């Protein structure tokens, strides 16, 4: 019996080590992809680390901008601990349900600032093509975006990046990476989030965070993935 237990412990250690190695490799590849994408945009590695750190910290920060009265019950979650175990208990608010509308710093504000910075140092043609790309990606994103009750606005992850990359490839710009990035960021932000503000009362969510669907939201990743596709 003891031999079986030792063997099992070795297996657990091996699996834990394997998971750690895979996770470390994934993080290394992700950071390498980020550096490659931003380098093609003319941004230094030191600035890339600053943007990444600001995005990680900013993903936990939502700036409230308004409150909207919901037309459906608000579904929230409460966790109760019992003998060391946590149990998820959904809570439904019926009376005077209100949804907080906020802007996520890491998922919306920082990518927007980076996009404006890139446009500010671009020539007139690149700015023009960037605006055309934003318009097209906004339309595509709006078509594919769908409201999900209790969650927010959902969209297939690669729709906006592929559309942004195609615009950067088709339009003869002197800086296709810039066109791809700003089209992916602003196109997703406008088409998926801003143009769907009218459906917020029907989502049944306590908070509608623009650009806040996780640490690296679709707005952030759309620009990065679009640049990587263009660089292939």
What span, in angstroms and rounded, lies between the C-alpha atoms of 78 and 65? Answer: 25
- Provide the 3-class DSSP secondary structure of residue 151: coil
- Would you say residue 83 lies in a domain? no
Q: Is residue 216 part of a domain?
A: yes
Q: In angstroms, rounded to a whole number, what is the distance separating the alpha carbons of residues 183 and 167?
A: 8
Question: Is 90 part of a structural domain of the chain?
Answer: no
pLDDT of 160 over the 80 cut: yes
Is residue 174 situated within a structural domain? yes
Distance of alpha carbon 185 from alpha carbon 150, whole angstroms? 24
State the CB neighbour count (10 A cutoff) for residue 61: 15
Q: What is this structure's pTM?
A: 0.78
Residue ranges of alpha helices (H) inside 95-175 are 110-120, 124-144, 159-170
Question: Is residue 14 one of the residues assigned to a domain?
Answer: yes
Please give the average per-residue pLDDT across 146-175, as a whole number.
86
Reduce the DSSP state of residue 155 to 3 states and report it: coil
- Domain-located, residue 78: no
Supply the Cα-derived Rg of the chain in whole angstroms: 21
Give the H/E segment covering residue 230.
Answer: helix 218-230
The winner for highest mean pLDDT among 32-41, 67-76, 96-105, 175-184 is: 175-184
Domain carrying residue 128: 2-72+98-230
- The whole-number pLDDT of residue 96 equals 58
Q: Residue 66: inside a domain, yes or no?
A: yes
pLDDT of residue 216: 44
Q: How many domains does the chain have?
A: 1
Q: Which token pair is 212?
A: 């806040």
167/161 Cα distance (integer angstroms) = 10
């Amino acid at each position: 019996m003891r031999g079986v237990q030792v063997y099992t412990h070795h297996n657990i250690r091996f699996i834990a080590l394997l998971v750690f190695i895979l996770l470390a490799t994934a993080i290394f590849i992700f950071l390498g992809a980020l550096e490659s994408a931003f380098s093609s945009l003319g941004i230094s590695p030191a600035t890339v680390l600053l943007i990444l750190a600001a995005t990680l910290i900013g993903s936990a920060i939502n700036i409230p901008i308004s409150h909207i009265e919901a037309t459906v019950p608000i579904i929230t979650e409460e966790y109760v601990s019992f003998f060391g175990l946590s149990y998820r208990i959904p809570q439904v608010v019926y009376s005077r349900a209100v949804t907080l509308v906020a802007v996520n710093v890491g998922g919306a504000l920082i990518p927007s600032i980076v996009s404006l910075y890139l446009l500010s140092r671009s020539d007139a043609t690149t700015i023009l093509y960037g605006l055309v790309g934003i318009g097209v990606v906004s339309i595509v994103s709006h078509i594919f975006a769908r409201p999900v009750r209790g969650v927010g606005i959902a969209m297939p992850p690669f729709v906006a990046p592929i559309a942004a990359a195609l615009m950067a490839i088709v339009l003869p710009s002197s800086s296709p990476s810039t066109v791809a990035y700003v089209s992916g960021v602003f196109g997703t932000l406008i088409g998926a989030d801003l143009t769907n503000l009218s459906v917020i009362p029907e989502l049944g969510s306590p908070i509608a965070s623009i650009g806040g669907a996780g640490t690296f939201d679709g707005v952030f990743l759309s620009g990065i993935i679009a640049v990587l596709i263009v660089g292939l």
